Structure 1
């Protein structure tokens, strides 16, 4: 029996990009005669809205076999791989986060596809397109990939948005029969999920950063429709919850409705780290950059910055 390729992602959570890529890439490989299945030990975060969850069931019950091969999507930092992954049996990486390009190119050559594009979903779409199989993509996979592109490009307002992302969304939205109102409906659903349980939402997209990132040690992120309303209604709860995770924390709340990022940080050290990367005006622990930004953009800035030295 040929080995099965397990399409999986990170350990902490499944965001919509990872969720979509796992399902859609497994579907493509099976169409190409390569045994594959999506699997994850992690659970979806708030970016996988209730409507999205209804499109297809995601398998969480896989027990790895000794001959399984692994494809990692939307992650290339091996410190954060799903625990079901056997690192020596990774055969492909599809990711758009910086930092581990050279490591994987040395190991996998052209099977390491790590490049600056708005969404890993766009990279998976390009594989469907190159294979000439888009006419056979399921409605669920088309809708999932399209929605992942919406989320990761911040509804096409993010700086990392490329022409490839715009093209991919146009094709996939048509194939998945997504209406023109889907972006607003989707982000409003995400906001409702966030506000229903802030602690769960924060924990589900939180990363602990390494010192060389030059970013606050605890970095959470969420994308909603109306970030300003979220902060007005829940700022004190957010501050308390984040402070319990560590003094050096940052929350990036991305508001799609007004195309802004709201950076929340209480400590002077955290604020200095961010101000070392961007021109920011901190008011009551909140700063608003000139444009919406994703964590991976801040990570790229941080990796090339001069470290901030704590004072006191």
Structure 2
């Protein structure tokens, strides 16, 4: 049995989609596989997506099972059900662990700069010649994951491969033309209905070598400006409980920019140093939408060159 799974803290739409769609592909290829996670989906897995007739399996791994990791390569953040020595494949687009997995797995480690891990899974479907057999739900999941991870194709890590994958998958997904706006508006509504849960579900603790605030939360919404105006105090109070060095990145899809909230002075300074933009009154509005993983890559690069 191959267990397709992801990280431990939360399950975003990219991880959720990749696990389900890749397990489907493996089964079509005659490899018994199940998509499994002990982490809860975050707000990027909207209610509409959760209501689609496809889901994760409640299977519990047993001795002898092998593990395929999607949308994660940092072994400190693997789902706790993973047995490290039995990982046989890694599909990820986050930087930092390329050398480790290449040494361990060779070509079975596919870690590269691309907008979404969902694009990498799409490419496996295409290479196998089985794309015409992909289920409507898996196609919709992968397309939505690409949409989310590329911030509606506004992020700098978007590649031609992401664009082509999305356009191709939409032919199989049968989603409405205005799906991007519908999806991101629904995600924002879910976030605002329970801010604490949304923050907790997409919060990471950064390693010192990144140069980033220790607590780094992120959310993607349709209109960040409106959300911050309504909920800034509640957000700041919740993050302050998590630590005295915190940062929130609110990606505003409709405005194509990022709003950063950083209450502590040390957090503001770290952000300003990295982006070379002054943080004023605990907030920085960045001229483009930028993902946390981009800031992590920038921080690591600055650390190496220092």
TM-score by length of 2: 0.98
What is the aligned partner in structure 1 of residue 33 from structure 2? 36
Deviations 1:139-198 (A, max 9, x none): 000000000000000000000000000000001111101122000000000000000000
Match of 2:169 among 161, 167, 172: 172
- In the alignment, what sits opposite 1:310? none
Structure 2 unpaired stretches of 5+: none
Q: Measure, in 2, the Cα distance between the counterparts of 1:121 and 1:164.
A: 11
Counterpart residue number, 2:224: 227
Q: 2:50 aligns with which of 43, 50, 53?
A: 53
Q: 1:148 aligns with which of 121, 145, 150?
A: 145
Aligned to 1:70, which of 51, 67, 72?
67
Count residues with an aligned counterpart.
Answer: 304
Q: Out of 8, 11, 19, which is 1:11 matched to?
A: 8
Equivalent runs, 1:89-100 vs 2, <5 Å: 89-100=86-97
Q: Quick one: distance in 1 between partners of 2:98 and 2:268?
A: 29
Runs of at least 4 residues of structure 1 off by over 6 A? Answer: none
**Residue 283 of structure 1, CA deviation:** 2.4
- Equivalent in the alignment of 1:26: 23
SS of the aligned residue for 1:305 comes to: helix
1-structure distance, mates of 2:267, 2:239 = 12
Q: Give 1:210-225 correspondences, 5 Å limit.
A: 210-225=207-222
Gaps of 5+ in 1: 308-312
Question: What is the SS of the residue equivalent to 1:304?
Answer: helix
Q: Return the match for 2:244 from 242, 247, 252.
A: 247
Q: How large is the Cα RMSD of the aligned pairs?
A: 1.0
Q: Separation in 1 of the partners of 2:168 and 2:176?
A: 13
Q: Do residues 86 (structure 1) and 44 (structure 2) align? A: no
Q: How far apart, in 1, do the equivalents of 2:211 and 2:41 lie?
A: 28
Deviation at 1:57, TM superposition (A): 4.1
CA contact (8 A) 1:206 1:221 kept: yes
Using the alignment, how far apart are the partners of 2:53 and 2:142 within structure 1?
A: 13
Shift in Å, 1:275: 1.4
Whole-angstrom CA distance in 2 between matches of 1:306 and 1:101: 17
The partner residue of 1:304 within 298, 301, 305 is 301
Matches within 5 A, 1:230-309: 230-306=227-303
How far apart are residue 279 of structure 1 and its match? Answer: 2.2
| SS of alignment partner, residue 247 of structure 2 | strand
* Residue in structure 1 matched with residue 136 of structure 2 by the alignment: 139
Q: Which moved more, 1:16-25 or 1:262-271?
A: 262-271
CA distance in 1, matches of 2:246, 2:59: 34
> CA–CA distance in 2 between the matches of 1:276 and 1:98?
21
